[in-house]
Amino acid sequence: MKQYILALDQGTTSSRALLFDHKGGVVAMAQKEFKQIYPKHGWVEHDPYDILKSQLDVMYEVIKKSKVNNSQILGIGITNQRETAIVWNKKTGAPIYNAIVWQDTRTSDLCQQLKSDDNLEDYVRKSTGLVIDSYFSATKIHWILKNVKGAQKSAEAGDLLFGTVDTWLIWNLTNGASHMTDFSNASRTMLFNISNLNWDEELLEKFDIPRQMLPDVTHSGFHFGMAKLQGGDVPIMGVAGDQQAALFGQGCFEPGQAKNTYGTGCFLLMNTGEKIQYSKNGLLTTIAWGLNGKIEYALEGSIFMAGAAIQWLRDGLKMINSAAETEQIAQRVKGDSGVYMVPAFSGLGAPYWDMYARGGIFGLTQDTTNEEIVKATLESLAYQTRDILFAMANDSGVKLNSLQVDGGASANNYLMQFQADILNVLVERPKNIESTAVGAAYFAGITSGMWSMTDLKKKRAVDKTFKPKMDDFTRNYLYTGWHNAIKRCMNWAR
Ligand SMILES: Nc1ncnc2c1ncn2[C@@H]1O[C@H](COP(=O)(O)OP(=O)(O)O)[C@@H](O)[C@H]1O
Ligand SMILES: O=P(O)(O)OC[C@H](O)CO
> How far apart (Å, rounded) are the C-alpha atoms in residues 422 and 124?
34
DSSP 88-148: EETTT--BSSPEEPTT--TTHHHHHHHHT-HHHHHHHHHHHS----TTSHHHHHHHHHHHS
Query: Per the confidence metrics, is the pTM higher than 0.90?
Result: yes
Q: Is the CB of 346 under 6 A from ligand 2?
A: no
The pLDDT tens digits for 55-84 are 999 999 999 999 999 999 999 999 999 999
What is 4-242's CATH superfamily?
A: ATPase, nucleotide binding domain (3.30.420.40)
From the CA of 436, give the closest atom in ligand 2.
3
Q: Is the CB of 311 under 6 A from ligand 1?
A: yes
Question: What is the enclosing helix (H) or strand (E) of 290?
Answer: strand 284-291
Q: Which atom of ligand 1 is nearest to the CA of 310?
A: 27
**H/E stretch holding 291:** strand 284-291
User: One-letter amino acid identity for 356?
Assistant: Y
Instruction: Report the chain (494 residues): mean pLDDT per 10 consecutive residues.
Output: 94 95 94 94 95 98 95 97 97 97 94 89 95 95 97 97 98 98 98 97 96 98 96 97 96 91 93 91 94 94 93 95 97 92 91 91 95 97 95 84 91 97 94 91 96 87 92 96 96 88
Does ligand 2 have an atom closer than 6 angstroms to the CB of 242? yes
Q: Which numbered ligand comes closest to the C-alpha of 416?
A: 1
Distance (Å, whole) CA 327 – CA 30: 24
Check if 103 has its Cβ closer than 6 Å to any atom of ligand 1.
no
The confidence score (pLDDT) of residue 118 equals 75
**β-strand pairing of 266-273 with 294-303:** antiparallel
352 C-alpha to ligand 2 centroid (Å) = 18
CA distance 427 to 223: 36
C-alpha to C-alpha distance for 62 and 27, rounded to whole angstroms: 9
C-alpha 260/C-alpha 298 separation (Å) is: 13
Cα–ligand 2 centroid distance for 390 (angstroms): 22
**Which tens digit of pLDDT belongs to each residue from 291-325?**
989 999 999 998 989 999 999 999 999 999 999 99
* Beta strand pairing call for 402-406 and 426-430: parallel
Domain ranges of the chain: 4-242
14 is in an annotated binding site: yes
pLDDT score, position 370:
96
ipTM: 0.97
CA distances from residue 171 to 89, 163, 338 in whole angstroms, order as listed: 12, 9, 51
Is there an atom of ligand 1 within 6 Å of 343 CB?
Answer: no
